[in-house]
Amino acid sequence: MSLVRDTIYAFVGLKRLVSFQDNWRECFDVSADGVLRSFWAAALAIPVFVYVGAGFAHMGAELGAVRPPSRLWLDIVEYARIWLVFPIVAALISLYFSRSAFLSVWLVVHNWAVLALFSIQAIVVTLYLSGVLPMGAALAFFVLPYHFIRLGLHWRVATASLNISWGAGAAAASLHVIVDLLAITALAVLSTPSEPAPAESQSSEIVIPVSSE
């Protein structure tokens, strides 16, 4: 029941946070135990991660996209990256801004925010799979609007959690996203076949989004 309670409280807290209500803090346990429990969000997000990935694969099949065969180890590393890179980056950023005392707040709120972002992806994928949302609209959402939502949420979370200015919060969120993109790029390089695909295959390949936080 503790996990259910933590999840409900966290989503209520995120709603208050993004609507600029001052009482968002009371929804999060930022103790050492609360920080550890917030990583349960990673466990809750696993089926969502798989579901969204399957939705993207369905889009690719409908488009006739050419995709490399799935590698389980790469999927595991990709999922671990989502949850393990941020604490390191956050610790360094907090130290730089002299906000190490607020690191636990940032970690807790961020972890639940990632689960919320996965939930948004799942909602859009569900609308697409159910036929309510055309595939073009779903792809368009993930190409641009979703990234604005993601960056905006991280910006708000960093600013409020670290109790810093909007400018400093933007820098903190941007650094996190940049490091994340570098990690994604590195994984993409590792997943690229050593031998180039035939020219005709390359010319017809359609790129679709991949499931990521």
Within-domain flag for 209: no
d(CA 74, CA 5): 33
In a domain, 67, yes or no: yes
In a domain, 144, yes or no: yes
When pLDDT is averaged across residues 157-183 and rounded to a whole number, the result is 93
Number of domains in the chain: 1
**Is the residue at 211 inside a domain?**
no
Helix (H) or strand (E) holding 31: none
Reply yes or no on whether the pLDDT at 101 is more than 50: yes
Give φ, ψ of 30 to 5 degrees. -105, 15
Residues 6+ apart with CB under 8 A from 114: 41, 45, 82, 83, 213
212 inside domain: no
d(CA 146, CA 53): 16
In tens, the pLDDT along 183-196 reads 888 877 877 765 55
Task: Name the pTM for this structure.
Answer: 0.86
Task: Give me the pLDDT at residue 190, please.
Answer: 74
Domain range spanning residue 37?
2-204
Residue-wise pLDDT for 131-157, tens only, equals 999 999 999 999 899 999 999 999 999
- Would you state the structure tokens that stand for residue 82, as one six-digit string? 């989502």
